[in-house]
Amino acid sequence: PSRTTSRGPRTRASLRPSARRSPSPETYSDPVTAEESSVLVEGPWTHRDVTASGLRFHVAEHGPADGPLVLLLHGFPEFWWSWRHQLVALGDAGFHAVAPDLRGYGATDKPPRGYDAYTLSADIAALVRALGADDAVLVGHD
């Protein structure tokens, strides 16, 4: 499907994060530092990188590491910041609340491919395992 904008027709493919600004495959996994990115906002949460599906995922997390895992999945195009209030509330309630930047967003790697539903859902399963959990509560919106 396509839609018309003031600049002409836009196809669904042109709305993907990789379609406009993907770095070359040789550079898409370069580490991002707090100085280089405005998405690593300080707060009561912690930031770290987790390797899953062969990519580096940025996650913001709050709460006890041994608490039940709750993954907060942002919409498109957003990043972990959209869950900042829920991240703190869930962590304070005893959950291990984790808000990742999904593939292609925020401080997570931006590969040239893999933005289909199958690959994105495999990323989530790999993240759960990489975070050391057997299962998780998934919370999402778009």
**Mean pLDDT of the region 108-120:** 96
Per-residue pLDDT at 101 exceeds 50: yes
Q: Distances in Å between the alpha carbon of 66 and those of 44, 62, 97, 123, 129?
A: 18, 11, 11, 22, 14
CA distance 29 to 4: 34
Residue 38 lies in domain: 2-140
Number of domains observed in the structure of the chain: 1
**Mean pLDDT of the region 110-121:** 96
- At position 74, the amino acid (one-letter code) is H
Q: What is the CATH number of the domain that holds 79?
A: 3.40.50.1820
- The tens digit of pLDDT for each residue in 21-80 reads 334 444 455 555 544 455 788 899 999 999 999 999 999 999 999 999 999 999 988 999
In this prediction the pTM is: 0.75
Length of the chain: 142
